Amino acid sequence: MHGPSPETKHPMEGFPQVCFIRNTVRNPNIIIGEYTYYDDPEDAEDFERNVLYHFPFVGDRLIIGKFCAIARGVRFIMNGANHALSGISTYPFYIFGNGWEGAEPAAADLAYKGDTIVGNDVWIGYETLIMPGVHIGNGAIVSARSVVVRDVPPYTIVGGNPAQPIRPRFAPDVIARLEAVAWWDWPIQKITAHLDRITGADVDALEAVAASR
């Protein structure tokens, strides 16, 4: 056996609050990697309710990598939440019509920040809020109830409001080596065979496995 099937919704029998959300998300602009799970006793299958202001006409995407752990109440604010800042008022008159259509701002006046991207093997803590266009690097950890307003480097622990770096998990040269190894892209048979190296702290040993067939 090589772990739970990535095609199952609930990989822990009798424990439905954990869900492999790749199998439940239907929005084509939300892209989830294999084995990424959401933990929520209320309704783990309805992860999409936590992706806010995600309007199809805006076109931005939420991309989350493989093997991520997402705690209950994590929310993503998407670009549809942005109001124009170029004028005196930020009130979106135009969306209500009835004679106010002419107040629609130019696209350039709306603060579009692009796709929101979460890397692989990222742990996002309870009730974290992630703002539009943020990129969270591989192996990062986001502390509970953080508000993430800027990019998070790979293998860095951040926390607070706004979230600030607490410390890197490894030295810069080690982080570069881990990025190169990219164990999450190995075949699942290889991952299973070398879990001790992936969960251990010996980077040399992990690189040796990566180099082997």
User: Any idea which residues carry the catalytic annotation?
Assistant: 83
Find the helix or strand (DSSP H, E) in which 18 lies: strand 18-20
Q: Are strands 129-130 and 147-148 parallel, antiparallel or unpaired?
A: parallel
Record the tokens describing residue 144, joined without a space.
Answer: 């509970």
| Longest CA pairwise span in the chain (Å) | 67
> Shortest CA distance to 47 belongs to which of 11, 14, 13, 19?
19
**From CA 13, how far away is CA 212, in angstroms rounded?**
34
Helix (H/G/I), strand (E/B), else coil: 95: helix
**From CA 118, how far away is CA 125, in angstroms rounded?**
13
Which residues face 168 on adjacent strands?
Answer: 156
Helix (H/G/I), strand (E/B), else coil: 147: strand
Record the tokens describing residue 114, joined without a space.
Answer: 């692009």
Question: What are the backbone dihedrals phi and psi of residue 150, each rounded to the nearest 5 degrees, phi first?
Answer: -140, 165
Q: At what angle do helices 203-211 and 172-181 cross, to 10 degrees?
A: 30
Helix (H/G/I), strand (E/B), else coil: 20: strand
